[in-house]
Structure 1
Amino acid sequence: MDTSQKPQLTAPLLWLMAISSGLVVANNYYNQPLLSLIAKDLQVSESSAGNIAMLTQIGYAAGLLTIVPLGDLFRRKRLIVIDFLFIFLSVLGIALSQSLYQIYIFSFLTGLTCVVPQLFIPMAASLARPEKRTQSIGLVMSGLLIGILGSRILSGWVGNLYGWRAMFFIAAGITLVLWVMISWKLPELYPVYKGTYAKLMQSVLHYARTEPALQAAALRGAFLFASFSAFWTSLVFHLAQPPFNAGSEIAGAFGIIGMAGALMAVGVGKLAKKVSFFKLTAFFMLIFLSAWFIFYQGGDQYWTLILGVIILDIAMQATHIMNQSSIFALHPEANNRLNTVYMTSYFIGGSLGTFLAALSWSHWQWNGVLAVGMGFSLLALMVHMAFRRIYAK
């Protein structure tokens, strides 16, 4: 068998990657609209339940660091198919958990194993023609972000009607269906890297230390996702307060609005051909920050929350696509390792934002969350400005 010839990136294959990415990553976010229900069912505090989301993100960061680099060392399809088995067991474990600490353990394992989308994204970047790379990444990333936001719609609705456990039983069933489709349709992609796992991880650290563009993207992504996670983790608690007094289904419905924002950002690839990377990224980061000012001015009204969510998700998706497009142009043969550095930083930022938002909520409610979100947004913008010289080349 000729392993040197790459498979063709067809439209059906690209859509399979996008849809699978969304449905797999959704497992990490089903818990967010359900946190209040879990807290009531297990008779624990809301801040303790909020740690479920944090531990899921920490698990995801750990999976990005330890599992995703294997995509440069082993056959990609085989790695993905095996990982799906562990996703199924982890999600089923949450559904069957009888204590908060059991949920903590299985939530961490769910995050650890649900890194398949971060194997699909470099795969799409590697198989795509250079002129189509940003658009291909954008489509898979749109599937990913729609999965993140759509998961809140589904889990909010299911949780309200059938209880929080039902959502994770459904998620286990979805995982089995995806496993069949991936086993059937995904082509094999053979690695180029021939070294050991230890040397592979050493090369990850080497890229992290020596590539300024990767460093800039990793820090921008971490701070922006910290801000993004602070909002979405706290939204369910904010809506449960007066004047809204809303349940999990309303918090989940906000995912529809976020999905609209994510879809609007798909065209960023076309803009990237006309506007410089530095200016376009700075523009979207300022747009992201403006969403927090909208939340500050009108966080007690539905229409301002809706407007802010649309703006926040457009800007988040656009900057994320720009970040990944910039790093995948550095060393195409090491895309999984580059993505490991970026996405590990990204989800460490997300877990930090989730933790600080939960902590701030317990002390200062919505005003504390606003401070966390604005603070991380400003840090991201400062990083972008600090690295501006590398984009002047």
Structure 2
Amino acid sequence: MSSTITSGQRLVLASVCAVAVSTIYAIQPVLEGAGSDLGLAESTLGWLVAIGQLGYFAGLVLLVPLGDVLDRRKLIVGHLILAGAGATITSLAPSGVIAGAGLAVAGLFAVVVQITVAYVAATSPAGERGRNIGTVTSGVVLGILVVRVLAGVLGDSVGWRAVYAVLAVLCIALALIAHLTLHPDVRPVRARYRDVLATPVRLVVTDRLFLSRGLIAFFLFASFGTLWSGLALPLGAAPWHLGTSAIGLFGLAGLIGAVAASRAGVWADAGHARTVTGWSLALLAASWMLTTRTTPTLWLLVMGVVLLDFAVQAVHVSNQHLLTAAHPERSSSVIGAYMAFYSLGSALGATTTTWAYTSAGWWASCVLGAVYAVAALAVWALARHATASPLTTPVPEEFAGP
């Protein structure tokens, strides 16, 4: 079903993405305070971050494919309520075990983001699909970046539990608004759940477009994770010694770049998704030359953050536009499988940036981030010039290459 999505509905859908993804990343700026309050040893704090990511990965595999089976509007409403329940458990948790359980539940149902993107792709006219996906997925980056600012401020002034209490209220409120404002997702034929579960493996084996875009996403978000999981380390050290709230404000710089890249959806609608991917990945690699400079001023670092987030969002929107257009009948399954690459790449970046920083300093983390960006650019270049494989699933000519 295709129908024009109003500006009000786009705002609701973007807000759903922003709030849902915030339930995963809100723990990072307040990790030290949460660990102290819950009586956790410093060596175990990483699990509070990892448990939400693990829940999210499980949701990508098990829950996102439901979007090809059930009414996506109902799934959006239900998943928001359950993500809110996870945030509530976290805010009230008396121990680290209960907090971990709440974070796992919130992460599991935060995949409402991918259900939302699939809903937008399925209900948008072809000429508006890229613009709508670009607007809605801007909410994802907005959530990841802005929650760092809000969590830092709330954590310093009220306490870390207030962060999750606010997110719980927002999830429930958005569930009600989504129920009242979104169109039902009516489809004459629905897939079977067991069939859509097999979609990721089938895509990796048979679909050249999906594999290339998935690998690009893997390295793209490894580069993204290298920056945002490691940036607090040099900023909190000499000569700056910035606190949680001040470090969180750097999310505003990333937000500028991400919002500017919402235009990528319009470019994709005009048939420029492949070209946008190439120059955006080149820009991503170049941004690390600015990001590595943290003295004598932070302005070059800020410029690098803006460029990096612009490039990441532009490529991310282009990827999703191409994949949902090539597989309209399996948009939920395709987005879920694609985001598995995103999740693994983010985890790789988060893990390796701390190792690089501990070993050789911030410059080593920046080299690592640039290497991931160049790897993504190499995948794009190789796939663009590769001859079509006999195993490649036929797709419309405009989507035949990366």
Q: Decide: shared fold, TM above 0.5.
A: yes
Give the C-alpha shift of residue 43 in structure 1: 6.2
* Residue identity matched to 2:159: G
Aligned equivalent of 1:164:
160
Gaps of 5+ in 2: 387-399
**Inter-partner Cα distance in structure 2 for 1:60 and 1:300:** 39
Q: By how many angstroms is 1:105 displaced?
A: 3.4
Structure 2 partner of 1:266: 262
SS in 1 for 2:45: helix
Within 1, Cα distance between the matches of 2:189 and 2:218? 28
Alignment of 1:45-124 (within 5 A): 48-124=44-120
Offset, 1:74: 0.9
1:205 aligned to which of 185, 201, 207: 201
**2:30 partner letter:** L
Which residue of structure 1 lines up, in the alignment, with residue 390 of structure 2?
Answer: none
Q: Distance in 2 between matches of 1:43 and 1:230?
A: 28
2:34 alignment partner AA: I
Aligned mate of 2:143, from 141, 147, 154: 147
Moved more, 22-31 or 352-361: 352-361
What's the CA shift for 1:205? 2.4
Name the counterpart of 1:245: 241
Secondary structure of 1:228's match? helix
- 8 Å CA contact retained: 2:214, 2:341: yes
Letter in 2 for 1:26: S
**Partner Cα separation in structure 1 for residue 192 and residue 230 of structure 2:** 42
TM-aligned CA deviation for residue 7 of structure 1: 5.1
Q: Residues 75 and 277 of structure 1: is their aligned pair in 2 closer, same or farther, counting only changes over 3 Å?
A: closer
Is the CA contact 1:71–1:336 (under 8 Å) kept in the aligned structure 2? yes
What's the secondary structure of 2:70's corresponding residue? Answer: coil
The CA distance in 1 between the partners of 2:253 and 2:77, in whole Å, is 33
Residue 284 of structure 2 is aligned to residue 288 of structure 1: yes
Match of 2:373 in 1: 377
Residues 314 and 65 from structure 1, CA distance in 2 versus in 1: closer, same or farther, beyond 3 angstroms?
same
CA 1:240/1:44 → structure 2, altered by over 3 Å: closer, same or farther? farther
Give 1:58's aligned amino acid: L
Q: Distance in 2 between matches of 1:102 and 1:244?
A: 36
How far is the alpha carbon of 1:278 from its aligned partner? 3.2
Q: Do the aligned partners of residues 392 and 321 (structure 1) sit closer, same or farther apart at CA in structure 2, a change above 3 Å counting?
A: closer
Residues 1:372 and 1:51: Cα distance change in structure 2 (over 3 Å): farther
Q: Distance in 1 between matches of 2:339 and 2:27?
A: 21
Change (3 A) 1:308 1:39: farther
- Verify the 8 A CA contact 1:61 1:345 in the aligned structure 2: no
2:306 matched to which residue of 1? 310
Indicate conservation of the 8 Å contact 2:218/2:344, yes or no: yes
Secondary structure of the 1:387 match is helix
Matched-pair identity in %: 28
Cα separation, 2, equivalents of 1:237 and 1:41: 22
Pair 119,110 (structure 1): closer, same or farther in 2 beyond 3 Å: same
Cα 1:209–1:96 shift into 2, 3 Å: same
Deviations 1:287-323 (A, max 9, x none): 1111212122346632122111101110011010111
Q: 1:325 aligns with which of 321, 325, 336?
A: 321
**Separation in 1, partners of 2:363, 2:282:** 21
Q: Contact (CA 8 Å) 1:7, 1:189: kept in 2 or not?
A: no
Contact 1:47 1:362 in 2 (8 A): no
Q: Equivalents in 1 of 2:90, 2:257: separation in Å? A: 30
Q: Residue 256 of structure 1 aligns to which amino acid in structure 2?
A: L
Contact kept, 8 Å, 2:60 with 2:336, in 1: the verdict is yes
Task: Note the alpha carbon deviations across 1:96-129, whole angstroms, 9 max, x for none.
Answer: 2344444333323221111112111111111111
Q: Deviations over 1:253-302 (max 9, x none)?
A: 11111111111112123444667443321110011111212122346632
Partner of 2:337: 341
Q: CA deviation at 1:153?
A: 1.3
| Corresponding letter in the other structure for 2:335 | N
Q: Distance in 1 between matches of 2:260 and 2:58?
A: 31
Which stretch of the first structure deviates more once superposed, 125-134 or 275-284?
A: 275-284
User: Taking structure 1 as reference, are residues 104 and 372 closer, same or farther at Cα in structure 2, changes over 3 Å only?
Assistant: farther
Counterpart-to-counterpart distance in 2, 1:369 and 1:240: 15
Taking a change above 3 Å as real, the CA distance of residues 258 and 268 of structure 1, as seen in their structure-2 partners, is same
**Is it true that 1:14 corresponds to 2:10 in the alignment?**
yes
Larger RCO, structures 1/2 (Cα 8 Å, 6+ apart) = 1
In angstroms, what is the RMSD of aligned CA positions?
2.3
